Amino acid sequence: MKNKKVLSKRMTYVVMIAPALILFILFNTIPLITGAFYSFTNYKGYGSFEFVGLRNYIDLFSDARVGNSYLFTFKYAIIGTLLVNVLSLLLALGLNSKIKFKSALRAVYFLPNVLGGLVVGYIFSFIFTYIIPAIASALHINFLENSILAGEDTAWIGVLIVGVWQAVAMNTIIYISGLQTIPADIYEAGMIDGVTPWQKFRHLTLPMLMPFVTTNLILSTKNMLMVFDQIMALTKGGPAQSTESISYLIYKNGMDGGQFGFQSANAVVFFIVIVAISIFQMVITNKKEEQL
Amino acid sequence: MRKSRVVISLLTAAAISVSTLLSGCSADSGKDGVTTVTMLQYKPEAVKAFEKIEKLFNETHDDIQLKIESPNEAMTVLKTRLIREDYPDIVGIGGDMNYSNFLDADLFEDISDIEVIGEIKPAYLKMEKELELLPKEGTYALPYVSNAAGILYIKEMFDENGWEIPETWSDFIALCDEIKKTGTDLLYLGYKDTWTCLAPWNALAVGLAPSDVCSSVNAGKTTFAAEYSEVAEKIKVLLDYAEPNPYAYSYNDACTAFARGQSAMFPIGSYAVPQILSVNPDMNIDSFTFPANDKEEDNVLNSGIDLHFSVMKGTKNKEAVYEVLRFLFKDETVQIYLDEQGGVPCKEGDFELPDFLSGMEQYIKNDRMSDFHDHHYPSEMSVDAMIQTYLMDKSNNSAQIFLERFDKEWTRYNRDLIARVKKYEEGQK
C-alpha cells in the first residue's frame, strides 16, 4: 500500500517510458553497438573471427562497389526527395481546396503507402518489363521498346519512379495536415491587400508550412537514402550492379555473402552519414520557419 | 532509496517479460519421450517432396518427430539463424561456397561413422572433399542428389527439323546459324537475374578451364586472365543467338518462355526442369552437354552436388538425427525425391534417370563430370553480376577489363583465405 503513495507524478512518467526505452535499447542500441564491434573484425556472420583493426574502414574507401552504391543512393535520394516534396505539396494544395469527393480522393492518394513495397515493386516490374515495351512498340516509341529496368543507364529511373510514387502518399498527408493548421485570418488579411495566387502561396502558405517542409524533407531524405524494397523487387541491384543502394549492399553482402564485419563497418559509416545529413537539414530549414 | 528500488524492480520485470517473450519463440516444445529433429533445407521448389518424406517418417517413428522447414531464400534464413545461434539439427544445402565457409567455421559434426557413407558414389565424396577450403579430417556432408547443367532443348522441335545434337563448338555454332535462318529464336536467356549468367559460364568453364583453377590461383600458380579468356570469349558469342535485350527477363521469365516453345534451347541446369514442366507439363525436354571444345573428347559435363545433408555441431539428439539420415538414404525415400524433383542420385543403385537427362547419361555413367566453378567463388564477390556487367559492356576490350577485374577482386575478397593457404602449405613442408 505504501508503494502507491511513492509512485509520484515523476515516477508515473518513468514507468510510462520504461517499456519503450527497454525495447529501444534491446532492439536498437544494443544491435548498433554489436554492429560497431563487429566492424573491427573479419566476422562472416558465423563461426570464429579475428580482429582486423581499421582494415574494414580503409577498404571501405577503396572499394569501387561501395563507392558506386553511395553515388547511386545519393543521386536517388536527392532527386527523389525533390520530386516527392514538389509533387506531394502540389497534391496537398489540390486536395485541400474546395473540390468534390475530397475525402475519397485523399484516401485514393494515400493508397500507395498502405501497399507493401515489395508488392508494388513486383507489379511495377511487370509493367516495366512487359506492358510499357508492348505499348511502345505498338506506338513506335523507340527508346521505350526495351524495358527501362534492363538498361544500365535507365534502371535507376525505374526504381525512382516506384519509390517516388509510393513516398508521395505519406508526405501529402503531412502537407494536408500542415495546410489545415494555417489560420484563415491571414488569408483574409492577404485578400484585403489583394494578393495574387502565387503571392499567396509564396508569402503566406509556404512560410506557415515551413515546419512541415522540414519534417517532410528529413523524413523523405532518410527514407530515400534507405531505399531497399523497391530494389529487391525491381532490379536486385542490377543490371551490371548499377542500382545497388547502400542498404541493399549491406544486406546482400553482410547477410547473404560472408562480409558481416565489412558491411557492419559500412553500416556504421552510413549511420553517421544519415545522422549528419539530418542535423544539417534541421539546422538549415529551422532558420526559415515562421512563427505567428 | 525506495523510489529507485521501485524503478529497478519495474525495469527488471519489464526486461524479464521481454526476454521470456523472445525465448518463447524458440522453445523446444516436445511431448515426453519424443525427440524433435529439425531440418532446414534450402530448396523451396522441393517442398512437396520433403513434405511427403516428413509425413512418411513421422508415420513410421513414434519416438522421433521430424520437422522439415523449406523457407524461401533459405541461405539467408539459415545465416540469420546462425547469427542468432539458433541451429537446426540437420541442414540440407548445396555443395557450394556457403558450405565451404560453414565447414571452415567449424559448424558441422563429423559424421564419418554413419553406415550410409558406404553406399554413396565415391566421385561425389571426392567432390565434397574438394569443397574444403583447407584439407580436413572426416566426413561432414552426405551428398544426396546432384544436378547436371548444359543445354536443355525441345525434343519435338529438333526431331521435326532434323537438327542433330552438336558435339563440338563449331557444330554448335553451325546449328545456331541454321536455326537462326529458320527464324526461330534459339536461346532464351534470363539475364535479369544475375545468377542465370552463371549457368552457361559454368558449363563452358568446366570444359575450357581446369577444375582446380580457384585453388591454383589461391596458391599463386596461375591467373584467371590466363585460364578464363576462352570462357569469356565464348559466353559472349551466345548473345548473338539470344532474344534481344536478355537483361530485361528474369530466370522465371526465361523458364516460362522456353516452356511455351519460344526458344529451341535454354542453357541452364536440370534444376530448371520442374519449373518448366509446371508451366507446360506435356513438354518433351531433353538435354546435352555443353559442347565447349572443338574436340568432343575434351568436353566435360557440368555436374555438382545440388543437395547434401550435414549435421550441425552440438546437436543434442545424435541418435535420432542418424535415424533421420538413414531414413533419407533409403532407396524408397531417394525415389520419392527423384520422382518429384528429378536429378542424379548420389547413392549407388538402380535409380531411373529422368528422361530429360538421357542426353547426358553417357557422361554421367563414364564419370566425365566436373563441379560448378562458382561453387568455389565467394558469394560476396558477386561474380554473377561481374559477368552480367561484362556481357553488357560493348567496348572492344571488354574481355580484358573483365578478366583484370576478376583477378583483382579475387585477391581482395579471398585475401584471408590466400594467407591461410600459404601458411598451411608452409606448415606442410
| Chain A nearest CA to B171, separation (Å) | 31
pLDDT of res. A5: 57
Query: Is A30 an interface residue toward B (CB < 8 Å)?
Result: no
Interval B360-387 mean pLDDT = 84
| Coil vs helix vs strand at A116 | coil
Sorting pLDDT into bands at 50, 70 and 90, what band is B136? confident
| Coil vs helix vs strand at B254 | helix
pLDDT of res. B366: 78
In terms of CA atoms, which chain A residue is nearest residue B243? Answer: A146
Lookup: cell for A233: 523487387
| Chain A nearest CA to B340, separation (Å) | 28
Lookup: cell for A8: 509520484
Ordered by where they begin, the domains of chain B are 31-147+304-353 (3.40.190.10), 149-303+371-428 (3.40.190.10)
Nearest to A263 by CA among A44, A77, A52, A71: A44
**Cell 576478376 found at:** B406
pLDDT tens by residue, B95-108 = 888 888 888 888 89
HSE-up of residue A267 (Cα within 13 Å, Cβ side): 25
B25 compared with B321, residue with greater pLDDT:
B321
CB contact under 8 Å between A133 and B248, yes or no, is yes
Q: Which residues of A touch B388 (CB under 8 A)?
A: 238-241
ipTM: 0.70
The percentage of chain A sitting over the pLDDT mark of 70, rounded to a whole number, equals 95
Report the top-level CATH class of A39-286.
mainly alpha
Selected residues 189-228 of chain A with any CB under 8 Å from a CB in chain B: none
pLDDT of res. B411: 86
Q: Which residues of A touch B249 (CB under 8 A)?
A: 129
pTM as predicted: 0.75
pLDDT of A86 higher than 90: yes
Q: Which residues of B touch A152 (CB under 8 A)?
A: 392
Lookup: cell for B178: 541454321
What letter does residue B113 receive in the DSSP assignment? Answer: T
Alpha-carbon separation of residue A8 from A19, B3, B176, B193 (angstroms): 18, 9, 85, 61
In terms of CA atoms, which chain B residue is nearest residue A59? Answer: B412
pLDDT of A51 higher than 60: yes
pLDDT tens by residue, A148-189 = 787 788 888 888 999 899 889 999 999 999 988 888 888 888
Query: Is A241 an interface residue toward B (CB < 8 Å)?
Result: yes
| Chain B nearest CA to A221, separation (Å) | 28
| Chain A nearest CA to B423, separation (Å) | 16
- Give chain B's mean pLDDT: 83
Query: ∠ CA B215-B219-B223 to the nearest 5 degrees?
Result: 75
Interval A191-196 mean pLDDT = 86
Domain map (residue ranges) of chain A = 39-286
Selected residues 124-143 of chain A with any CB under 8 Å from a CB in chain B: 129, 133
| Chain B nearest CA to A7, separation (Å) | 8
HSE-up of residue B55 (Cα within 13 Å, Cβ side): 7
Sorting pLDDT into bands at 50, 70 and 90, what band is B282? confident
CB contact under 8 Å between A236 and B379, yes or no, is no
| Chain A nearest CA to B75, separation (Å) | 7
Best residue in A256, A260, A263 for a mutation probing chain B (most B CBs within 10 Å): A256
The percentage of chain B sitting over the pLDDT mark of 90, rounded to a whole number, equals 8
CB contact under 8 Å between A46 and B82, yes or no, is yes
Sorting pLDDT into bands at 50, 70 and 90, what band is B55? very high
pLDDT of res. A65: 85
Rounded CA-CA distance A179/A50 in Å is 56
pLDDT tens by residue, A117-142 = 788 888 888 888 888 888 888 887 77
The percentage of chain A sitting over the pLDDT mark of 90, rounded to a whole number, equals 13
Query: Is A69 an interface residue toward B (CB < 8 Å)?
Result: no
Q: Are strands B90-93 and B151-154 parallel, antiparallel or unpaired?
A: unpaired
pLDDT of res. A207: 85
Sorting pLDDT into bands at 50, 70 and 90, what band is A3? low
CB pairs under 8 A between A and B: 109
